[in-house]
């Protein structure tokens, strides 16, 4: 077995930090070796990955600044304190929008892009020409925040231990399933022996000192005597220690401490007001950054400190609506609606009711599994009615335009595309008339982009390009706009320009799977098969569950005759989704290419059992049956296929061929005629074969007319036959 198959990362488990540390040896730090505390209470999202960057980047900035510039988005998203070290940033209208103008939030998938970008940076640094092999040890990794869990699961899968050796140190049980599964698959488990015994304190003065040590650890110490001492204090004593520690951390003025330890201490301190403010700050930050699991956590924690009274209304709504935004982004729309209903039940504040109505509409038209556009229309109309009551003219117009943009989405979903375009176009005009040149630029850019999507759907591509060109001019670093413009170019068959846009999007963004997928498709259409394969391969490295990418790569391998590689992709895909009809169909094609007819038939019939409309499976199964001399079976398969695809010329052509073999010439001639009327690409072949059928039916004049058309279409493989049967045609 190769090293790649046998070498693994390390998973050290033990009940206490001291037991685990005795195994991995924290004193062995040196060049390329990093020890990171990963407990979520310290800095919240990206506690571990952010600390790794805080330790790495000052050196990297000095020695390889080009790497920092390439990955600046990832670096500053995970470790914002590094703005003091990193001199540049690739800002967008989304990232710089003031809170009052923040009308767009990042996609949930963005955090995985950030993680993959950091891993790309680490792999570049682990090159022998730079830092060489890295060893990363993460303590308390089982108590990490969700986004560090995403980072751990991804780096364990993507990093080869010979290049980047990852050690996760955890308690025996791990809550996060994705971390546990990655460790079980990619790491060798080492159980640390229990070697430490901590004795409870016996002197009262020791108790206070020990309790303070626990608080100074920000609650992550697992030393029994410290925990016992802390629990033995009065509530007032504990609150005083938490207040003191929170004040110390605030004085350090580090953003990410406000996402972890500071709110944790304030919640346990003496001031409810301080706790509320300490939870509100990270609530806003995490929503703006797209850290939705953490935002939801802060929102639910904040709701415990406030109620719907007039005094707390603004804070209660902030904690509620940002929790619901996070739930929607996380695909938990039903839970979000419960919170909106709670708000409606407890307040008649028209601003809150207006915002809740709009957001509920978006749940029904965009986020719910069981979308209901009629209900979405009801709620958006409620929002518009309330917006009409806003006394401030500027606020009223902006809210109306904003909600009409939501209504345009509903109209798109129900097929009223012209009305959607009207709503967005009118909104643009009203904002341009009302606002100053630099006001609400984010939402104005959103309207431009939405209008481009509508125009593209209407196949008004030049107009869509005009909108996208304008929005890119004002927000050049937002990669989604280059992705969207590339898609329009692709629809126009301007593939080189599409590839340029996809490539630029790749260059300014953390790894963005859809850019690689669409660029691969464009390369394939241009005949650049190797470049397409490279993009699909990288796509599957960063997103191995992308079944469309896996299917497309398998198809390219199959077309190149690399059936073994194609089979590996298909089998991997079917392991994820055994009922994937197109993968089953491709497996059938692989079996056909490798001359395994029984296995091929089984796979193709399995594909049709999943999707009885799958044209490719019908067509290939009919060919397979015909080659097995089962022409009647081929006819039956094609007859079933035509019921689902009455406009598919290839099905009539194939059935005609099978009917002809069964000497059912009249039916065959009718199918050949139907294939011609549907624009078959096999016209020359059809003219000859229909002529054969007509001859068998005694219709010589019509048959020779078809053969004449056949000969006029180009060089004929049937020339000898025609010369023998109708020499007069070849002498014309």
Give the model confidence (pLDDT) of 206-242 as tens digits. 899 999 999 999 999 999 999 999 999 999 999 999 9
Out of 196, 231, 259, a domain closes at 196
Q: How far apart are CA 324 and CA 321, in angstroms?
A: 5
Residue 427 to residues 107, 145, 433, Cα–Cα distance (Å): 24, 41, 10
* First vs last C-alpha separation in the chain: 70
Question: What is the per-residue pLDDT for 203?
Answer: 47
pLDDT of residue 4: 42
Tokens read off for 47 = 């506690």
Confidence of residue 1 (pLDDT cuts 50, 70, 90): very low
> Residue 101's pLDDT is what?
44
| 494 HSE (CA, 13 A, CB side) | 14
Range in 28-42, 85-99, 258-272, 554-568 the model is least confident about: 85-99
pLDDT of 697 over the 90 cut:
yes
Residue among 554, 578, 584 at smallest CA distance from 567: 554
**Model confidence, pTM:** 0.91
Phi, psi of 12 (to 5 degrees): -105, 125
Tell whether the model's pLDDT for residue 665 goes beyond 90: yes
pLDDT of 32? 86
Helices (H), 492-614: 495-507, 513-525, 529-542, 547-559, 563-576, 581-593, 597-610
* Token pair belonging to 177: 């399933």
Q: Per the domain annotation, does 257 fall within a domain?
A: no
What CA–CA distances, in Å, run from 162 to 5, 127, 133, 444? 12, 11, 7, 49
Q: Which residues contact 330 (CB under 8 A, 6 or more apart)?
A: 108, 292, 293, 296
**In the chain, how many domains are there?**
2
* Residue 727 confidence (pLDDT): 86
For residue 304, pLDDT over 80 is answered with yes
For helices 146-158 and 177-186, give the axis angle rounded to 10 degrees. 20
- Mean pLDDT for 545-569 is 97
Bridge-partner residues for 135, per DSSP? 33, 165
pLDDT of 730 reads: 72
**Does any domain span residue 549?**
no
Which CATH number is 172's domain given?
A: 3.40.50
Would the pLDDT of 56 be above 60? Answer: yes
Query: In this structure, what are the phi and psi dihedrals at residue 231, rounded to the nearest 5 degrees?
Result: -70, -20
The CATH code of the domain that includes 696 is: 1.25.40.10
**pLDDT tens by residue, 233-271:** 999 999 999 999 999 999 999 999 999 999 999 999 999
> Average pLDDT for residues 442-465, to the nearest whole number?
92
- Domain boundary among the residues 196, 225, 250 is at 196
Q: What is the pLDDT of residue 5?
A: 42
Interhelix angle for 393-413 vs 350-362, to 10°? 20
Residue 362 lies in a domain: no
456-461, long-range: CB within 8 Å, 24+ apart, which pairs?
456/487, 456/488, 456/491, 457/412, 457/417, 458/417, 458/421, 459/491, 461/488, 461/491, 461/492
Higher pLDDT residue, 439 or 399? 399
Question: Among 146-160, 235-249, 703-717, which is the least confidently predicted range?
Answer: 703-717
Residues 51-70 have a mean pLDDT of 95
Residue 194 has pLDDT above 90, yes or no: no
Q: With bands split at pLDDT 50, 70 and 90, how would you rate the model's confidence at 629?
A: very high
* Residue 279 clears pLDDT 90, i.e. is over it: yes
Q: What is the pLDDT of residue 394?
A: 86
pLDDT in tens, 418-442: 999 999 999 989 988 887 666 677 7
Let me know if residue 435 belongs to a domain.
Answer: no
- Mean per-residue pLDDT over the chain, rounded: 93
**Residue 204 in domain:** no
Query: Looking at residue 282, what is its pLDDT?
Result: 97
Full strand arrangement of the beta sheet holding 187-191: 33-37, 134-139, 164-170, 9-13, 187-191
Would you place residue 565 in the very low, low, confident or very high pLDDT band (cuts 50, 70, 90)? very high
Which of 135, 168, 196 is a domain's end point? 196
Find tokens 């999202």 and name the residue: 45
Residue 581 included in any domain: no
Task: Check residue 389 and report its DSSP letter.
Answer: T
pLDDT tens for 465-491 read 999 999 999 888 889 999 999 999 999
Which residues, including other chains, have CB under 8 Å from residue 375's CB and lie 6 or more apart? 361, 364
Beta-bridge partner residues of 190? 12
**Domain span at 664:** 649-730
Residue 2 has pLDDT above 50, yes or no: no
Highest mean pLDDT among 80-89, 395-404, 606-615: 606-615
Least confident of 94-103, 231-240, 313-322: 94-103
Q: For 111-127, how does the pLDDT look when each residue is reduced to its tens digit (9 = 90+)?
A: 999 999 999 999 999 99
What integer is the mean pLDDT of 171-197? 91
Q: Evaluate if residue 103 carries a pLDDT over 80.
A: no
Q: Of 6-15, 60-69, 680-689, where does mean pLDDT reach its minimum?
A: 6-15
Q: Name the token pair of 97.
A: 């929008």
Q: What is the pLDDT of residue 28?
A: 60
- Give the pLDDT confidence of 363-386 residue by residue, as tens digits: 999 999 999 999 999 999 999 999
Residue 98: per-residue pLDDT: 43
Q: Are the C-beta atoms of 569 and 557 separated by less than 8 Å?
A: yes
């Amino acid at each position: 077995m190769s090293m790649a198959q046998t070498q693994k990362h390390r998973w050290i488990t033990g009940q206490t930090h001291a037991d685990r540390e005795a195994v991995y040896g924290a004193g062995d730090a040196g060049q390329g070796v990093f020890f990171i505390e990963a407990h979520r209470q310290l800095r919240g999202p990206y506690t571990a990955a952010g600390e790794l960057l805080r330790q790495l980047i000052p050196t990297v900035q000095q020695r390889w600044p080009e790497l920092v510039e390439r990955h600046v988005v990832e670096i500053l998203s995970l470790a914002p304190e590094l703005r003091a070290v990193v001199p540049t940033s690739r800002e967008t209208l989304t990232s710089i929008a003031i809170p009052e103008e923040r009308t767009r939030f990042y996609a949930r998938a963005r955090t995985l892009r950030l993680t993959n970008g950091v891993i790309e940076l680490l792999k570049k640094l682990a090159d022998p020409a730079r830092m060489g092999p890295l060893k990363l040890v993460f303590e308390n990794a089982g108590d990490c925040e969700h986004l560090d869990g995403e980072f751990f699961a991804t780096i364990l899968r993507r990093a080869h231990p010979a290049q980047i050796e990852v050690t996760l140190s955890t308690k025996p049980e791990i809550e996060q399933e994705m971390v546990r599964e990655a460790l079980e698959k990619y790491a060798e488990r080492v159980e640390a022996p229990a070697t430490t015994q901590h004795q409870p304190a016996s002197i009262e003065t020791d108790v206070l000192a020990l309790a303070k040590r626990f608080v100074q650890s920000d609650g992550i110490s697992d030393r029994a005597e410290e925990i016992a001492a802390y629990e033995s204090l009065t509530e007032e004593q504990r609150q005083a220690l938490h207040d003191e520690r929170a004040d110390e951390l605030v004085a350090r003025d580090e953003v990410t401490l406000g996402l972890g330890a500071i709110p944790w201490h304030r919640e346990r301190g003496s001031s409810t007001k301080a706790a509320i403010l300490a939870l509100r700050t990270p609530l806003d930050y995490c929503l703006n950054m797209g850290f939705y699991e953490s935002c939801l956590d802060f929102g639910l924690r904040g709701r415990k400190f406030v109620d719907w009274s007039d005094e707390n209304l603004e804070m209660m709504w902030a904690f509620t609506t940002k929790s619901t935004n996070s739930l929607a982004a996380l695909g938990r729309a039903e839970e979000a609606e419960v919170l909106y209903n709670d708000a409606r039940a407890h307040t008649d504040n028209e601003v809150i009711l207006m915002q809740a109505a709009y957001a509920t509409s978006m749940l029904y038209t965009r986020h719910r599994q069981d979308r209901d556009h009629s209900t979405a229309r009801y709620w958006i109309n409620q929002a518009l009615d309330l917006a009409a009551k806003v006394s401030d003219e500027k606020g009223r117009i902006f809210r109306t335009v904003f909600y009409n943009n939501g209504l345009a989405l509903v109209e798109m979903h129900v097929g009223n595309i012209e009305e959607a375009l009207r709503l967005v176009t009118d909104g643009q005009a009203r904002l341009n008339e009302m606002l100053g040149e630099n006001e609400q630029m984010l939402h104005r850019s959103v309207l431009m982009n939405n209008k481009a999507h509508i125009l593209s759907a209407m196949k008004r591509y030049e107009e869509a390009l005009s909108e996208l060109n304008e929005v890119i001019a004002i927000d050049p670093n937002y990669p989604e706009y280059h992705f969207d413009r590339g898609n329009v170019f692709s629809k126009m068959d301007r593939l080189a320009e599409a590839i340029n846009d996809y490539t630029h999007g790749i260059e300014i963004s953390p790894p963005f799977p859809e850019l690689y997928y669409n660029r691969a498709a464009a390369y394939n259409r241009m005949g650049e098969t190797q470049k397409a394969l490279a993009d699909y391969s990288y796509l599957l490295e960063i997103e191995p569950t992308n079944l469309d990418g896996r299917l497309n790569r398998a198809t390219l391998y199959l077309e190149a005759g690399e059936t073994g590689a194609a089979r590996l992709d298909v089998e991997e895909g079917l392991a994820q989704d055994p009922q994937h009809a197109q993968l089953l169909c491709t497996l059938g094609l692989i079996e056909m290419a490798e001359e395994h007819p029984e296995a091929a038939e089984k796979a193709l019939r399995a594909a049709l059992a999943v999707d009885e409309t799958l044209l490719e499976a019908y067509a290939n199964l009919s060919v397979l049956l015909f080659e097995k001399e089962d022409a009647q079976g081929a006819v039956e398969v094609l007859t079933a296929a035509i019921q689902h695809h009455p406009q598919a010329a290839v099905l009539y052509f194939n059935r005609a061929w099978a009917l002809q073999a069964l000497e059912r010439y009249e039916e065959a001639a009718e199918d050949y005629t139907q294939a011609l009327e549907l624009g078959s690409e096999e016209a020359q072949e059809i003219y000859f074969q229909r002529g054969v059928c007509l001859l068998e039916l005694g219709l010589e004049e019509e048959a020779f007319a078809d053969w004449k058309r056949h000969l006029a279409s180009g060089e004929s493989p049937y020339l000898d036959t025609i010369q023998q049967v109708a020499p007069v045609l070849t002498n014309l």
